[in-house]
Amino acid sequence: MRAHADAKQHTRSVPGATGSRATLTWAAKHAGELGGNPDQLMVMGDSAGGALAALSAVRARDEGEPSLRLQVLIYPMIGPALRTAPRSSLPTDT
């Protein structure tokens, strides 16, 4: 839980985080006007956009709205400092 608390503390400093959250809120409020259903919202993003989609989903959950039906994260960049072994060092089946 410590990592979650630390991450939440810094979400306002993530470039694009405030705009992504504001866009999600706007879409929820205007879904009916746009021919959508506010009860079937989703977020989607790839790479840095995946990180923003994930952040928007977490903030929506923590703040209680809007409710999301789905999130699609395509190779999200969610841990730029994450240290993992290179793929070549992983065991193979052959």
Number of domains in the chain: 1
Residue 84 lies in a domain: no
* CB 60, CB 68: distance < 8 Å: yes
Task: Convert the pLDDT of each residue in 26-75 to its tens digit.
Answer: 999 999 999 999 999 999 999 888 888 998 998 899 988 888 999 999 98
Q: What is the pTM of this model?
A: 0.65
C-alpha dihedral over 4, 45, 34, 18, to 10 degrees? 40
Residue 1 lies in a domain: no
| Cα 30 to Cα 9: distance, rounded to the nearest angstrom | 29
- Domain containing 56 equals 14-28+37-78
Residue 21 lies in a domain: yes
Task: Convert the pLDDT of each residue in 75-91 to its tens digit.
Answer: 887 665 656 666 666 67
Residue 86 lies in a domain: no
Residue 8 lies in a domain: no
User: What tokens appear for 80 in the block?
Assistant: 């730029």
